[in-house]
Chains A and B, each alone.
Chain A
Amino acid sequence: MSDAEKKDTPEQAEFRAYCQDWLSKNHPGKPTVKIPQGALELSDPAALEWLKKWQKASYDAGLIGCDYPKEVGGGGMTNCQVIANAEMQKAKTPYLPNIIGMGMAAPTVFFHGQDEVKAELLPKLLSGEHMWCQGFSEPGAGSDLANQQTFAELKGDKWIINGHKVWTSLAHFADWMILLCRTDKGEKYNGLSYFVVPIKSALGKGVTVRPLIKLTGETGFNEVLFEDFEVDDRYRLDEVGNGWAVAMTTLSHERGAGPLVTPASGGMSVEEGESLSTSNAMALVDLAKKQKRSGKTAADDAVIRDEIMQLMIRRESMVQNGRRAAVSSLVEHPARIALQSKLVATELNQDMAELAYHIEGMASSLYVNDDNAPAGGQWPLAYMNSFGVTIAAGANEVQRNILGERVLGLPKSK
């Protein structure tokens, strides 16, 4: 019995046993189509369908949305999502495709939406039947998120929306979007409002989605144009002018610092799912032992050894930070560790992928389209894709501003 299991409440213990049993019988097995490294890289509709089937099955089994009330399609349990996540990780299941829906839209709708909107949207969000995307970034509003120019104007009981969103992951598959836009041009932060909008049903009728190609050559994100797009007022979350506060709910969950735990499945390995776990330093050790250089292996090189150990230590410290965050007497400031999590996780991920391609040496020049590429070219690809997450959700420079200002109390940089 692991440490985590020993501390389970009776409800958690029963649920953990149920998850273990269900997963032992219902693992979907090796994908029948090629699955990319993460949901944000999804571009093949067949891959999406295969993953949606997995999300629907695990939702129907009660492993997704465990802590949401039953009225909104959840399981009505307490602190059980963390159990389901751990068991899915252990069972090496595929990842879930509707990650923006579950990680950002669901908690935001739950905390700020009207009851009938929650009941309408959350069940199909959690089951993955409806895919979601996030309409925050604009050409002129990246790190300075409050500089929103997309404008919504109320006419009767409809909002008329005009504007341009960019870096919109999964918009090409999304049924719904969480949308931050301006409703008052006279106020920066207090002039914003927050909506949930049905984009797929409006394609060609006020909504246009165009793919943007990432530096890796993959699609996965898009630009979205709104031209006199009509949205019902009931899809506004919270009060007009209160959009910034609602966006903070979204962002705190995106950065792993919100009250609701995001459903997460994963752990499938290269052989099983053709995607790499880039979060485990032992993968670097294995790689270094296979890679020859100057008659020895990379694992015999003192500098490589030291660099792998540095990352292994950072990885362990991240796990132990998470453990310590729950021990209030060992934390100097309540948000100090939570606000670090996005920053440290994405930089570690980037540094691991970078070291991995260094270890591969010249062979790392071979890309995924070359049959001789080591590990299918996944490490250099992971390195290039790692910049998506060091930039997204508030670039890490913005994260450092937030930590410096909110935790250390340094003067604001704006």
Chain B
Amino acid sequence: MSIQPKNFGFGEDETMLRDSARKFFSDNCSADKIHNLVATDPNIHRSIDCVWDKNLWQQIVELGWTAVCVSESAGGIGMPAVAAVALAEEVGKAAFPSPLLSTFNATFVLNHCQSEAATAALGEIAEGKATTLAITNQEGSWDASATDVSVNNDGSLSGTAYFVQDAKKVAQLVVSAASDKGVGLYLVDTTAGGVQMVADGIIDLTRDQAHIEFSNASAIELAAPGTGNLAIDQAMPAILSIVSADMVGAGEWLLQTTVEYAKTRVQFDRPLGFFQAVKHPLVNVMLDIDRSKSLAYNAACAYDTDPDNALRLAHMAKSQAGDMAVFSASRAVQFHGGIGFTWECFVHLFFKRQMHNQVLFGDAKYHRALLADMVMGAAA
């Protein structure tokens, strides 16, 4: 059995990185600032826009965050996945619109592609080239072999990738595409000919999403046919840890914001938080956040040091975090009362981010079913 470090591999360097991120977000990304940026138009039929602060993204690139999980040999910093998980927690706490987490996910997949093209792509990521995964089909399957994109005889791609995260914010895509030899992975420039990006109208105001149509789009092979799905599978524990950590951060914001409200809002001559009908569920939210946080760091640490157990532990993390995401968001809206139901209260930003996070890469029940198959065997 492999040995996991007691501290999850979260040492001084990781703590310093996390603390600098915490400061960056508290200096630059207050909830009202994000709200002023992304929530200017409440119209339910509003036009589909991608709004984000490119200047802040440039600062993040200069801080080197995109290089965190790129190996030193590929031009990066080569920190463990727990470092990216810590950043994801801060991103979630700020509901920060950026392609950082998508770029991490692409990094983990590229780390498992044994090709010079993948190494070159990682080098570009380390220098700040935002990248996302385009690996989901129309039915939203998380099976790494499921794709509606195919490889043409000349190596170009045709078909459509769905539910592509942060699509309008990135410069390149890691696309899964099928040929008769199986699923491979391909690098496609978002500005290349034959790439048509159609933005989705989504609930989450802090993200953008698109489906992307490829018509003989030129592509560079990253992982040969038959090996692309394996690279996705190997990266999946890290990807699940990242989205779980985003939910932990968003959950903590929802908890602390609701606690502050419960301390100050007075009804029946008492602050709301005096009443156990409010106090006890808020404690339950805290219990769920702590469960989720411990499981997310555990899964990321397993990805770094105990790969045989990583997927099992990542199913646990995503399942727990998914349930927590819904619970933390629902209690925040409910306990803010009438104001919590309005567009002007910032809670809806995080509520919607949690709704999106919960289904992204599979919801809680989906991961528990996979976990049960692993530890109990398939059902008869």
Contacts and interface: CB of A to CB of B under 8 A. Distances in A.
B294 A324 contact: yes
A318 B274 CA distance: 28
Contacts of A187: none
Contacts of A312: 316, 371, 375
B282 A408 contact: yes
A413 B270 CA distance: 10
Interface in A283-317: 285, 288-289, 296-297, 299-302, 305-306, 308-310, 312-314, 316-317
A323 B273 contact: no
B368 A306 contact: yes
Contacts of B259: 408-410
A306 B287 CA distance: 20
B369 A408 contact: no
Contacts of B294: 317, 320-321, 323-324
Nearest to B278: A410
Given A300-B379, A321-B291, A332-B252, A400 B271 contact: no
A323 B6 contact: yes
Contact of B276 (A302, A409, A413): A413
Question: Interface size for chain B: under 10, 10 to 19, 20 to 34, or 35 or more residues?
Answer: 35 or more
A158 interface: no
Contact of A410 (B252, B274, B284): B274
Contact of A340 (B15, B252, B290, B320): B290
A406 to B, nearest CB: 11
Contacts of B319: 309-310, 313
Interface in B263-315: 263, 270-271, 273-276, 278-280, 282-284, 286-287, 290-295, 297-298, 313
Interface string B93-128: 000000000000000000000000000000000000
Contacts of B274: 410-413
A410 B380 contact: no
Interface string B337-380: 00000000000000000000000000001001101100111011
B262 interface: yes
Given A306-B368, A310-B368, A407 B286 contact: yes
In this complex, which of A6, A320, A405, A411 has the most chain B Cβ atoms within 10 angstroms of its Cβ?
Answer: A320
Contacts of B255: 408
Contact of A404 (B252, B270, B282): B282
B6 A299 contact: no
Interface residues of A, number: 54
Contacts of B168: none
Contacts of A300: 379-380
B282 A320 contact: no
B3 A6 contact: yes
A329 B371 CA distance: 30
Contacts of A314: 291, 320
B286 A323 contact: no
A326 B7 CA distance: 8
B10 A305 contact: no
A340 B293 CA distance: 14
B6 A330 contact: no
B25 interface: no
Nearest to A3: B3
A409 to B, nearest CB: 7
Contacts of B14: 329
Given A340-B290, A411-B273, A400 B283 contact: yes
Interface string A393-406: 00001001101110
B18 interface: yes
B4 interface: yes
Contact of A336 (B290, B376, B379): B290
A303 to B, nearest CB: 10
Given A317-B295, A317-B320, A409-B259, A305 B276 contact: no
Contacts of A340: 286-287, 290
Contacts of A285: 375-376
Given A326-B6, A330-B8, A410-B262, A302 B295 contact: no
Contacts of A408: 255, 259, 273, 279, 282-283, 286
A323 B298 contact: yes
Contacts of B291: 313-314, 317-318, 321
A404 B371 contact: no
Contacts of A308: 372, 376
Contact of B295 (A296, A320, A329): A320
Given A313-B319, A397-B280, A411-B271, A327 B298 contact: no
A305 B280 contact: no
Contacts of A411: 263, 270-271, 273-274
B7 to A, nearest CB: 5
A343 interface: yes
A202 interface: no
A359 to B, nearest CB: 12
In this complex, which of A6, A309, A324 has the most chain B Cβ atoms within 10 angstroms of its Cβ?
Answer: A309
Interface in B1-59: 1, 3-8, 10, 14-15, 18
Given A336-B286, A343-B287, A410-B263, A299 B379 contact: yes
A401 B369 contact: no
A412 B8 CA distance: 35
B368 A3 contact: no
Given A297-B380, A337-B290, A324 B276 contact: no
Contacts of B313: 316
A316 B276 CA distance: 28
A329 B20 CA distance: 13
A404 B283 contact: yes
A28 B8 CA distance: 37
B254 to A, nearest CB: 13
Given A297-B380, A317-B320, A404-B282, 13 more contacts: A6-B3, A300-B380, A306-B365, A309-B375, A312-B371, A313-B371, A316-B316, A321-B290, A330-B10, A408-B282, A410-B274, A410-B279, A411-B271
10 contacts: A299-B377, A305-B368, A305-B376, A313-B291, A320-B294, A330-B293, A344-B287, A400-B284, A408-B259, A408-B286
Interface of A: 1-4, 6-7, 282, 285, 288-289, 296-297, 299-302, 305-306, 308-310, 312-314, 316-318, 320-321, 323-324, 326-327, 329-330, 332, 336-337, 340, 343-344, 397, 400-401, 403-405, 407-413
